[in-house]
Structure 1
């Protein structure tokens, strides 16, 4: 074998080797140093996961300041948030804008609550809101404080009426989240439950779409949505999921007057398998032929309106 020849001259004499001795790992100055464990994909420059994580972080930072506060842009969303007593830390007003009743009311409400009113140039407001349609007005709100799932049950018990909770399964669009929160508040729900993973959060977009109702309705986060639904079931609530191939149509939803959790899946994928298995029943919305499905927030609004109607008819609310 090469390197093992015993012929004269084929091997150095013992002790004559000029290189490093056994066990040194090579010349001290030339020794190879380990680079440590391989970094995760999202931490490797140039990796597709690293670029994806950077893009997500960039989008998230567009409407946040250094303190993690969100900027809600637009005259209607801002005045509605201030009317709802939503938490806020600053009101940005573009210099030289044409003030209307909404601007005047926003400034007055902010001043009454001790919220800082800051005049900035329009280009600066464009930058702060990442080019959103701000109409010269933006409200800075602190990071949203989520509730615990048990808080939703406490809120229901405090009313003395059958519980009504809306749970979202895989709804990742913050506009859908905000719209569901608004419908939930309109039809008497006690709160909204989100999974910790694969879900939209209360960003500026969700705040804007909810029209400030997120300040009045608790929004909780479950570490494991399926496990939490089962816990609600053990507490006496019926679990009903929205599904195009439901076991019953909305017109047959006799469970509406019972303590209820309405589970809404994503528009494309619907309910995940484990969540569907945790449901006591699945309900579909009867629709005209040729229409495949409804937007998740629209479907939630339709079902919640029917639940509220049935409860009124039964004298439960």
Structure 2
């Protein structure tokens, strides 16, 4: 976790308000023509059920979607972010203006199903490395404009966040090394600006490069696409001097073996870029109120 992240209730609310405003503008445009068929004075109640077991995530975005259209809407959550729901369990109930609930429904569910998918997938990876030193870490492979929402979802699933973007940490990769003239040279150039970054990490592809990085003072090393034998040897060579992270081609099937090598972190792009939406369903009661 880096110090750049702030997922306080207030920060989440602000983030969700911004994300939802863009989403509603995209969906509603000049007005919801179908919801206009409903009596504007009518009130309604609805329940949202999960159709499958999942780690719930996205309550701030759901709240923002309904309350941007009806500030008096009331939501009652039965399963909070980070907790697992069962299939067919009611996750939350909402009451408010019928038109507003109908218009906000798809936006609210889009965020809920997508962020819950990220959290649920992360939880599956986290469960497989239980009992090892390894942390499951996300990447910058996120949907444009929704990075912070997805990184919050990774947290809800028990994962750890990598850097937010290019501005808060230094991650030196193959092309940076080549452009700077070598591992020792690029780490030397990073030293004067290291205090501005949450961390400095360098990527290596061979055990020889790992040794060079450690000799040059590296304190965080990304081991890229190494096989199990190389990873075990890398852990031995490192001897606790630097934080070791694995990346590249990580799958659920091979995850436990990677974690058992003794590395500290396993970064996985698929947590945020290859997810299957969780199935949620909103069921409305009959509208109430309005002219008789």
| TM-score bucket of the superposed structures, by smaller chain | 0.3 to 0.5
Structure 1 length as normaliser, TM-score?
A: 0.31
**Which has the larger Rg?**
1
Q: Which has the higher helix share?
A: 2
